[in-house]
Structure 1
Amino acid sequence: MPELPLPRSNRGIAVVSLFVSLVALGLKYAAFAVSGSVALHADAIETIINVVAAAGGLWALSVAERPADHNHTYGHYKAEYLSAVAEGTLVVITAFVIGREALEGWFAPHPALVPWNGLLLNAAATCVNLAWGLVMLRAGQARHSPALIAGGQHVLSDVWTGVALVAGVALIPFIGWPRLDAVLAGLVAINVLRVGWEVMRDSIAGLMDEAPDTETLDEIRQIIVANGVGAIQAHDIRTRIVGAMTFLEFHLVVPGAMSVNAAHDICDRIEHALRAHMGSTLVHIHVEPENFVKRDGSALNIPSSGCHAAPSTTVAEK
């Protein structure tokens, strides 16, 4: 898939996402209107939440991009997590609404469903969502944006739902079992519930300042070791990722006779390397003399010649 030019700001991407959601909603409601399919109606209902979520994501990203102020000295990045939690909640509610539609369709199946025009419209909406969902997910991962990642995951879940519906509803006239329409709607509800739970779980983890994954932590350790030549040890490393911003703090042990300027140069070197690798990063380093060396195995020892391999010691996280 070719790379599409994207707005520079996450807020710009959210504006496009809202427009795409409205286009998909129009196509899916048209699909339901011409077919009368309960399953396609359930898919259209789910797309309403896409529109609401896109509007919420636009608000959250607008807030998250505001600079730090006297009331929010660490910035407004967590607004993205609030949006993602709200989106997850809406998705879960939608799952129950769709489930009700499925039950009604089961007890009162449509007697004469002719779905072809509706399926074509739904397939068109699915293609639109596939293209945009991939763009959102890639942009969110590249920019470390929870709101964009959650939005992309939500849109892509809608894609797989759409594929299943197109295939399933197309079978109804051939197998002559109208209740398959309600079964498909029920499967849509289960899938939507799953996505809602995943979005909420990841967002709550961010709000609770959960530590990054092991791979990210290992990369941080390697950078400190490779760029901390002249220091003795780093310990009490703590990090959290809030939206596009990484917060990192640790204690750096240096020789007691080292000058302030030399210690400051080491700190600068580490900070620049971390920012070059991780993007926006707020680093706080507490410099200590050598009598503060920890010997309990929880610290990160820095070889005098530097090292680019992953250190064998562990790091105390929180």
Structure 2
Amino acid sequence: MNPATKRLLTPQRLLMVSAVVAVFTIALKTTAWYVTDSVGLLSDAMESLVNLASAIFGLVMVTIAARPADEDHPYGHHKAEYFSSGFEGILIIVAALGICWVSVNRLIDPQPITKVGWGLALSVASSALNGLLAWVMFRAAKEHRSIALEADAKHLVTDVWTSAGVVVGIALVSVTGWLWLDPIVAIGVAINILREGFHLMWRSSQGLMDEALEPEIMETIQATLAGFEHKRGETEIVRFDHIATRKAGQRRFVDMHMHMPASWTLGRAAAVRGSVEQALMSAVPGLRATIQLLPSDVEAHFDEARDLI
């Protein structure tokens, strides 16, 4: 994605588009349910309602996450995106339970499906729209490192699979005349989106608990640091240890100790540290590095028993 496109497809703009598309697909799917009286299409429309609520809440959280650091939040507001992902997971679970409830009632009391052609056409049209938007959002989520955008895109993909399952179910009912297939398909849809809801909640919890950076990012950090490590004979002149990383929304953080000879002047040590910080931030977009300087013969001690009291 080129810089101009990246600036155009911001998380805020895409979530606003997602909300508008959700309103449009709700209208299509509700119409499809109305003309067919299919509980499968009703479950599809209910999930689109969740899409709308999720997009609106995600837009609010992404806007908050973009705020600069202030006196009350010196590390910024980046973690607000995790609340969006978690909230979306909760809404998905609630929708899935509602679909199960309606489907079980329809399974007990089957009802005929009418005007199948119109219902399928409207459902397929809404799915195509959601699929296109999800593809764009996945690309933008990767570029902006936005979990809120990724969560909304995953939900849209789930919606597409939901619609596909509903279409297959209604087509089978039309061919076979087995009315019980309609609620069975709806229950299968509910189980699928229930799984996605729990996955989103898990992702959010890991982010709020300061999950470490991805293994491939850690490899990039280690390779960058290796370029600054230096030995003289068997003695290490410059070395790094106690490297700790975490993610907070779009932002990435790394903390470490940098050991160097005690004979170096503060100015020389600071200059090397500045070079390391710049190299790390250039190698890993969105990274903020915090490096503590220590003499080579000094070790820092963490997690001692007295620190845990």
Q: Same fold (TM over 0.5)?
A: yes
Task: Give distance in 2, aligned partners of 1:205 and 1:22.
Answer: 31
Query: Do 2:261 and 2:295's aligned partners in 1 also have CA atoms closer than 8 Å?
Result: yes
Query: Do 2:107 and 2:180's aligned partners in 1 also have CA atoms closer than 8 Å?
Result: yes
TM-score (norm 2): 0.90
Unaligned runs of 5+ in 1: 295-318
Match of 1:58 in 2: 59
Runs of 4 or more off by more than 4 Å in structure 1? Answer: 3-6, 227-231
Match of 1:43 in 2: 44
Secondary structure at the counterpart of residue 250 of structure 1: strand
Which of 294, 297, 302 is the aligned partner of 1:291? 297
- Where do residues 153-172 of structure 1 align in structure 2 (5 Å cutoff)? 153-172=154-173
> How far is the alpha carbon of 1:235 from its aligned partner?
0.7
Task: Give distance in 2, aligned partners of 1:207 and 1:243.
Answer: 9
> How far is the alpha carbon of 1:174 from its aligned partner?
0.8
- Where do residues 269-284 of structure 1 align in structure 2 (5 Å cutoff)? 269-284=275-290
Query: Do 1:64 and 1:80's aligned partners in 2 also have CA atoms closer than 8 Å?
Result: yes
Match of 1:136 in 2: 137
Task: Give distance in 2, aligned partners of 1:90 and 1:60.
Answer: 15
Question: Quick one: which amino acid aligns to residue 83 of structure 1?
Answer: S
RMSD across aligned positions (CA): 1.8
> How far is the alpha carbon of 1:249 from its aligned partner?
0.6
Unaligned runs of 5+ in 2: 232-236, 301-309
Secondary structure at the counterpart of residue 249 of structure 1: strand
Task: Give distance in 2, aligned partners of 1:177 and 1:33.
Answer: 20
Query: Do 1:34 and 1:118's aligned partners in 2 also have CA atoms closer than 8 Å?
Result: yes
> How far is the alpha carbon of 1:96 from its aligned partner?
0.3
Query: Do 2:10 and 2:140's aligned partners in 1 also have CA atoms closer than 8 Å?
Result: no
Secondary structure at the counterpart of residue 236 of structure 1: strand
TM-score (norm 1): 0.87
Question: Quick one: which amino acid aligns to residue 298 of structure 2?
Answer: F
Question: Which whole-Å deviations, capped at 9, do the CAs of 1:41-99 have from their partners, x for residues lacking one?
Answer: 00100110000000000000110011111111111111100111111111111110010
Match of 2:254 in 1: 248
Match of 1:298 in 2: none
Secondary structure at the counterpart of residue 292 of structure 1: coil
> How far is the alpha carbon of 1:8 from its aligned partner?
5.0
Task: Give distance in 1, aligned partners of 2:28 and 2:283.
Answer: 42
- Where do residues 66-77 of structure 1 align in structure 2 (5 Å cutoff)? 66-77=67-78
Task: Give distance in 2, aligned partners of 1:224 and 1:162.
Answer: 49
TM-aligned CA distance change 1:123 to 1:229, over 3 Å: farther
Query: Do 1:229 and 1:266's aligned partners in 2 also have CA atoms closer than 8 Å?
Result: no
1:17 and 2:11 equivalent?
no
Match of 1:312 in 2: none
Query: Do 2:240 and 2:256's aligned partners in 1 also have CA atoms closer than 8 Å?
Result: yes
Report which stretch shifted further, 102-111 or 192-201: 102-111
Question: Quick one: which amino acid aligns to residue 278 of structure 2?
Answer: H
Query: Do 1:251 and 1:285's aligned partners in 2 also have CA atoms closer than 8 Å?
Result: yes
> How far is the alpha carbon of 1:233 from its aligned partner?
1.3
